[in-house]
Amino acid sequence: MNTLLQGIKKKNLLQVENLHVAFSIHKQKLEAVRGISFTIAAGETVGLVGESGCGKTAAVQAITRLTPAEWVEGKALFDGTDLLQATPEELRKIRGREIGMVFQDPMSSLNPTMTIGKQIAEGLIYHKLASKKEALQEAIELLRLVGVPHPEIRIHQYPHELSGGMRQRVLIAIALACKPRLLIADEPTTALDVTISVQILELLKALQKKLQMSLLLITHDLHVVAAICDRVLVMYAGQIVEEGPVKEVLRQPKHPYTKMLLQALPRLDRPTVLT
């Protein structure tokens, strides 16, 4: 099948239209996201890249309705349901079940007083996908899946007994427990050192393929996008200034900001030409 046909056949799982997000700061309206639109197809890995403060987190927090922002406008259609209009009940069914989320800081996302086995099992029990006993068994399998050794012992441990990298693997296990169709990972490895970060990103990509889910990966690192994403959205000052297949954007960046990001990357595909 040629790529054009494949493109037509692929269904949009998430379709964001004209999303605006604004915060109220000292009675002033600060627009963090200024009308962004993008889609994510089923099974696609999309990178959302941009410098710190450009609105990446504000955008995904608004989409998942976990935002502290005072103003959110636009549409975020997930398989036809507008998340921005969804009732609390609809949201509870979708969040954790259909959309999994992994955030930057594993320590603040985990409950320090609960064993990691129970935390992984929680979603399965909540969404009635498993009994308590089955869910704990599944937690062991999930820990194995994310590369945690001796999972049958680890499920009885508490977050503070694990290293940062292990905790991030646990968070991924929690996000994947219900086999979501979309995983949103917001700078999932920023708090980790480089070697562990590479391992976790490779793991995310492998799991995305294995579970055939869509992945929205937020990062400020174009290396990461180049390594694992199909398509990239480049955000700058609250707007998407450029988007396209990773290879095209990296080969022929149009926006000055993308060009600037790229200058920091070593070119492997052709000799560097100074113009």
Ligand X SMILES: Nc1ncnc2c1ncn2[C@@H]1O[C@H](COP(=O)(O)OP(=O)(O)O)[C@@H](O)[C@H]1O
Report the partner that residue 250 touches, choosing among Mg ion, ligand X, none (CB closer than 5 to 8 A by kind): none
Mark the segment that binds ligand X (CB under 6 A) among 8-16, 23-31, 34-42, 169-177.
23-31
Residues in CB range of 136: below 8 A, 6 or more apart: 117, 118, 121, 155
Q: Residue 127's Cα: distance from chain center in Å?
A: 21
DSSP structure class, residue 102: E
Q: Which of 32, 215, 216, 250 forms a contact with ligand X (CB under 6 A)?
A: 32
**Which part of the chain contacts Mg ion (CB under 5 A), choosing from 27-35, 50-58, 77-85, 267-275?**
50-58
Cα torsion angle, 167, 103, 189, 76, sign:
positive
CA atoms within 13 A on the CB side of 12: 13
* Residues in 126-165 at the binding interface with ligand X, rule: CB under 6 A: none
Binder among 58, 116, 176, 215 for ligand X (CB under 6 A): 58
Which one of 1, 4, 8, 25 is in contact with ligand X (CB under 6 A)? 25
Among 19, 46, 56, 215, binds ligand X (CB under 6 A): 56
Residues with Cβ within 8 Å of 118's Cβ and at least 6 positions away in sequence, in order, are 136, 139, 155
Distance CA(264)–CA(262), nearest Å, equals: 5
Stretch that binds Mg ion, among 56-64, 202-210, 244-252, 256-264 (CB under 5 A): 56-64
170 binds, among Mg ion, ligand X, none (CB under 5 to 8 A by kind): none
Q: Could you say which of Mg ion, ligand X, none residue 50 binds, taking C-beta under 5 to 8 angstroms by partner kind? A: ligand X
Smallest gap from Cβ 32 to ligand X, in A, equals 3
Judged by CB under 6 A, does residue 53 bind ligand X? yes
* Residue in 177, 232, 185, 179 with CA at minimum distance from that of residue 210: 179
Binder of residue 5, out of Mg ion, ligand X, none (CB less than 5 to 8 A by kind): none
Minimum CB separation from Mg ion for residue 230, in Å? 22
Between residues 50 and 123, which has the closer beta carbon with respect to ligand X? Answer: 50
Q: Which is nearer to ligand X, 238 or 253 (CB)?
A: 238
Q: Which residues pair with 39 in a beta bridge?
A: 15
Q: How many residues make up the chain in this entry? A: 275
Among 39, 45, 57, 214, binds Mg ion (CB under 5 A): 57
| CA 191/CA 164 separation, integer angstroms | 8
Phi/psi of residue 138, nearest 5 degrees: -65, -35
- If one asks whether residue 219 binds Mg ion (CB under 5 A), the answer comes out as no
CA–CA separation, 64 and 5 (whole Å): 31
Closer to ligand X by CB, 50 or 117: give it: 50
Distance CA 180, CA 95 (A): 9
- List of residues contacting Mg ion (CB under 5 A): 56-57
- List of residues contacting ligand X (CB under 6 A): 23, 25, 30, 32, 50, 52-58, 68
